[in-house]
Structures are given as C-alpha cells and as structure tokens.
Amino acid sequence: MSEQNQQTDSLQDVRDIRRLMERSSRFTSLSGLSCVAAGVCALGGAFFGYRFISNYYGQDDPGKWHYSNDQFAALKNELLLLAAITFVLAFGLSFFFTWRKTKQQKSSLWDHSSRRVFWNMAIPLVAGGVFVLGMLKYDEWSFVAPACLVFYGLALVNAGKYTLADIRYLGYCEIVLGLINMFEIGYGLYFWAIGFGALHIIYGIIMWNKYDRKIES
C-alpha cells in the first residue's frame, strides 16, 4: 500500500470514529424549529391566559372584584385547560419538526441517543409537574410559574449532556429566570412568557441558524 493510500484510509477511519462517537453519545437531530414552535405556542398560551385573567379582574364594576367562588373555580378550570392545550400543541409541533429532521438526516427518532435524552429530560420534568400539581391542590398559585421554569431548566440542563450543547444554556437561562421570578411573585405570567416563549424562540433561531440552515437549503 502506498503512503498516500494509507493516509486517505486513516483519514476515513478518523471520520468514521468521529461520526460514530457523536452519533452514539448525542442526539443531534433536534430541530431549531421545534424550539421556535414551542415558543410560539407558549406565547399564544400566555396571551390567552392574560386575557382570561384580565377579563376576570378587569371588570369595571368594583363590586364584582370580590369574586364569587364559582367564578374563580371557572377561571381556574379555564386556565388549566389552556395550559393543557398549550402543552399538547407545543409538544406535538416540536415533535413534528424533530421528526422531520430525523427523516432528512436518515437517522432514527427512537434510538439509543434519543432515548437517553428522553429519560434524562422526563425525570426532572415529571417531578416538577407532580410538584406543581401538588401546589395547585393546596390552591397555591403564586409559585407555579417559578416552579415550572426552575424544573424545566433543570430538565434541560440534565438532557443537554446528551444533545446539542445549546439546550444546556437554554436550561441555565430558564433556571435563572425562575429564581428571579421567585422573588417577584405576581409577575409569573410575564416570566412564564419570557422563559417559555421568548427564550425558546431566540434559542430556536440560534440553533436553526447553527445546525439546520445547511440541511434546509
């Protein structure tokens, strides 16, 4: 074998090694558009949430400010339903865009690396979800937004080890935002809109720019 030949062979070997190391340890098919879609859903959810709440409190007649329990219960149900719809839409859309990217990359949506991302994300997320439901049970609404942000941030930091590194930074931002919110109770919806809406859209665009643009064009 000539030296030239051996060199190209070695180069190919190294490329193979690199590709397999990356593919086996990180789930790289996460699409930036998934993130943007989740952000848009969250902003939509926050907008309607704001409308519901201001309709409830914003009545001109101050006599109605003292809410009857029935009305308040209805508002709670409306908000819970809204949250569920927002979550399903956001999850569905981000799932779709990532699924599309795995198709383009001819990789699998459910393999060794995506499973690991899933579990590492699910554990803090489910813990946080149950925690928040527990707070709702005791009618403790003030800490819902910060708790959502902090647990979601922890889930992202945890899962970030096994997917694109940007996810980890998004997680840090969510945690910081949640903690600030903890000391500014009452502005939960705004923090929620920034954390789940704006941050997702910003990071989504950054990620799309960094990884997806080459594939799409």
Partner 1 sequence: MNGLNGESANKECELKVESLTMKNPITGLNKVFDNRIRLGVMSILVVNEEVSFNDLKQMLEVTDGNLATHLVSLEENGYIKVHKGFIGRKTNTTYSVTRNGEKAFSDHIAALENMIKGVK
In the complex with partner 1, the residue whose CB is nearer, 25 or 87, is: 25
Given a contact cutoff of 8 angstroms between Cβ atoms, the answer to whether 39 and 200 are in contact is: yes
**DSSP category for residue 145:** H
In the complex with partner 1, the residue whose CB is nearer, 108 or 142, is: 108
Residue numbers 6-35 binding partner 1 by CB under 8 A: 6-7, 10-11, 13-14, 16-18, 20-21, 23-25
Distance CA 191, CA 160 (A): 22
**Burial annotation 56-66 (CB, 10 A radius, 16+ → b, else e):** beeeeeeeeee
In the complex with partner 1, the residue whose CB is nearer, 18 or 210, is: 18
Residue numbers 91-120 binding partner 1 by CB under 8 A: 108, 111-112
Distance CA 161, CA 25 (A): 9
Residue 168 as a binder of partner 1 (CB under 8 A): the answer is no
Query: What minimum distance in Å lies between the beta carbon of 148 and partner 1?
Result: 32
Query: What minimum distance in Å lies between the beta carbon of 13 and partner 1?
Result: 6
Non-local CB neighbours of 105 within 8 Å, separated by 6+ positions: 28, 29, 215
Distance CA 171, CA 155 (A): 7
Query: What minimum distance in Å lies between the beta carbon of 118 and partner 1?
Result: 14
Tell me the C-alpha to C-alpha distance, in Å, between residue 137 and each of 67, 118, 140: 20, 28, 7
Query: What minimum distance in Å lies between the beta carbon of 22 and partner 1?
Result: 9
In the complex with partner 1, the residue whose CB is nearer, 14 or 136, is: 14
Distance CA 27, CA 166 (A): 12
Query: What minimum distance in Å lies between the beta carbon of 12 and partner 1?
Result: 9
Distance CA 50, CA 186 (A): 13
Q: Which two tokens stand for residue 37?
A: 């879609």
In the complex with partner 1, the residue whose CB is nearer, 8 or 77, is: 8
Query: What minimum distance in Å lies between the beta carbon of 31 and partner 1?
Result: 21
In the complex with partner 1, the residue whose CB is nearer, 24 or 77, is: 24
Given a contact cutoff of 8 angstroms between Cβ atoms, the answer to whether 116 and 27 are in contact is: yes
Residues that bind partner 1 (rule: CB under 8 A) add up to a total of 18
State the residues that interact with partner 1 by CB under 8 A: 3, 6-7, 10-11, 13-14, 16-18, 20-21, 23-25, 108, 111-112
